[in-house]
Structure 1
Amino acid sequence: MLIQPLDGEYATYYDQYIGLVPEGDIRGILEQQLERTTQFFANLSEEQGDFRYAPDKWSIKEVIGHIADTERVMSYRLLRIARGDQTPLTGFDENAFVSGAAFASTPMSELIEDLRAVRRATITLLRGVTDEAAARVGTANHSPISVRALAYIIAGHEIHHLNILKERYHIS
């Protein structure tokens, strides 16, 4: 079982995500999120997908794309570190990722399908992570990060954005 990461296994910035994840097996948590989150988004119309709560904020479609892209980046880091690769990994600019994508013109159904595919890939990747590999620490964005911390960040990042959608976009 992948347990919650220990202090020192990740930069304190990620406390905001890891602290949102409930106790339990992270693999099971990610599987439960897959169903709940995709159903949450499937209930939204195309018009709702285009909604922004302020002119300079991302649309719901862009938030969905951002969640998927961030999971891709974190899963890639997880893969590299789990396999023992100690090459320092760079950060990424989430705003550049969103502005460089075509999320606004992508149908909601395709964004949801993409999110499902990314999560399924993360889940299958984690099935092959041993306890030894889960504790491995590498470097990403100039900070130490463990494999298990990356798994928790993926789950917590999604929770974070769903909370924002509920609070600021008034979606339930």
Structure 2
Amino acid sequence: MVSRPEPGEYNPYYAPYIDLIPQGDLVTILERQAEETKILLKGLSERQADFRYGKGKWSIKEVLGHITDTERIMAYRLLVIARGDMVDLPGFDENEYVRQGGFDKIPFSKLLDNFLAVRAATLSLVNMMDSSVWTREGVANGSKVSARALVSIIAGHELHHRKIIMQRYIGSGGFPQW
């Protein structure tokens, strides 16, 4: 069982994400999240997926693209640290990644398939790791982080944005109904 990290295993910036994760096995949580996100998003139309709840806010397509890009980056960091590579891993500009991602030009079904493929790859990586690597630490974006903290960040980040989608997009008065 992979459990949540201790506060000293990650930059405090990530605490709000990690605090969202329920207690339990992180692998099981990641598996369940993929299904929950699929159920939430699979029925959205292109028009709904293009919805923005405010000026300058990302569309649902862009939010999903951001979730997927972030998971890819965190999973790469996880791989590097789990393999004992002591290289300092760079940060990334999430807004620039969304700007360059072109997510609004991609059919929503492909974006959802992409998210599910990335999550499957993350789960494959996590399931192949020996229990001895979970507390192994490295440096990402100038801060110390453990392998299990990265898994927690992946889960918490996805949950954070799923809640935003439910509250500010789907739950808003301006959300297209068809």
TM-score, with normalisation over the residues of structure 2?
0.94
Question: Whole-Å Cα distance in 2 between the matches of residues 153 and 130 of structure 1?
Answer: 19
Unaligned segments of structure 1, at least 5 residues: none
| Map of 2:97 onto structure 1 | 97
Q: Structure 1 residues 171, 42: closer, same or farther in 2, change over 3 A?
A: farther
Alignment pair present for 1:58 and 2:58: yes
Question: Whole-Å Cα distance in 2 between the matches of residues 127 and 171 of structure 1?
Answer: 35
Q: Deviations over 1:21-49 (max 9, x none)?
A: 01111111101111110121102111000
The size of the alignment, in residue pairs, is: 172
State the shift of 1:171 in Å: 3.8
| Map of 2:176 onto structure 1 | none
Give the 4+ runs in structure 1 shifted more than 3 A: none
State the shift of 1:163 in Å: 1.0
| Map of 2:175 onto structure 1 | none
Q: Deviations over 1:53-101 (max 9, x none)?
A: 1120000000010000000000000000001011000100000100001
Question: Whole-Å Cα distance in 2 between the matches of residues 56 and 77 of structure 1?
Answer: 30
| Map of 1:137 onto structure 2 | 137
SS at match of 1:19: helix
Unaligned segments of structure 2, at least 5 residues: 173-178
Question: Whole-Å Cα distance in 2 between the matches of residues 161 and 43 of structure 1?
Answer: 18
State the shift of 1:140 in Å: 0.3
Alignment pair present for 1:78 and 2:82: no
Alignment pair present for 1:114 and 2:111: no
Aligned Cα root-mean-square deviation (Å):
1.0
State the shift of 1:107 in Å: 0.6
Q: Deviations over 1:120-158 (max 9, x none)?
A: 000000011122101100000000000000001000001
State the shift of 1:3 in Å: 1.1
Question: Whole-Å Cα distance in 2 between the matches of residues 155 and 137 of structure 1?
Answer: 18
